[in-house]
Amino acid sequence: MTIEFFQLLSLILAANGAPVLARLLLGDKFNAALDNGIVLADHQPIFGISKTWRGCGAALLATIICAQLLGYSLTVGVKIALSAIAGDLLSSFIKRRLSLPSSTRAPLLDQIPETLFPALMMMRLFELQLYTITVLVISFTVIDLVITHCLYHWRILRKSR
């Protein structure tokens, strides 16, 4: 793998880790739900209470800063953050349609879209081939599953109310 592979993986990790870090640092401050509590015909919220404006802001800020530190433009940081957020929101939307509560872990569904969307968005810039995208998704998935398991095991993370 190239240095660009690890840089992209780092940017995706920043985009997906920043909301968790913001939640740990800020607690319940600024945690307004993205979906404003709107419930659809299936009696489930659009995304759930764990998808917040604070998390989106943290993902954008962290990814932009990391992109700049790695020598990439603001636009690259924004595109990676927004596509990771879109993947995460898609996962949450699907989990709500399956009647899974917020913060319920759904291996692969929680990792693939939030890695695949940024990889596809950056495919040309990072000269990614299908094989490299597959390795990127697998790498992120393993890292995320291990970190998430540890954070729940050590009770740093808990299910949302």
Coil/strand/helix, residue 91: helix
Give the span between the Cα atoms of 27 and 8, in whole angstroms: 29
Residue with tokens 């993205």: 34
Instruction: Give DSSP secondary structure letters for 40-73.
Output: -TTSSBSS-TT-BHHHHHHHHHHHHHHHHHTT--
pLDDT tens over the chain, length 161 residues: 799 999 999 999 999 999 999 999 999 899 999 999 999 999 999 999 999 999 999 999 999 999 999 999 999 999 999 999 999 999 999 999 999 988 888 999 999 999 999 999 999 999 999 999 999 999 999 999 999 999 888 988 876 54
- Please state, in angstroms and as integers, the Cα–Cα distance from residue 18 to each residue in 25, 124, 136, following that order: 10, 25, 19
Amino acid present at 3: I
End-to-end CA distance of the chain: 41
Signed CA dihedral, 145, 108, 96, 38: sign only: positive
pTM passes above 0.85 = yes
User: 51: buried, middle or exposed (CB in 10 Å: 19+, 13-18, 0-12)?
Assistant: buried
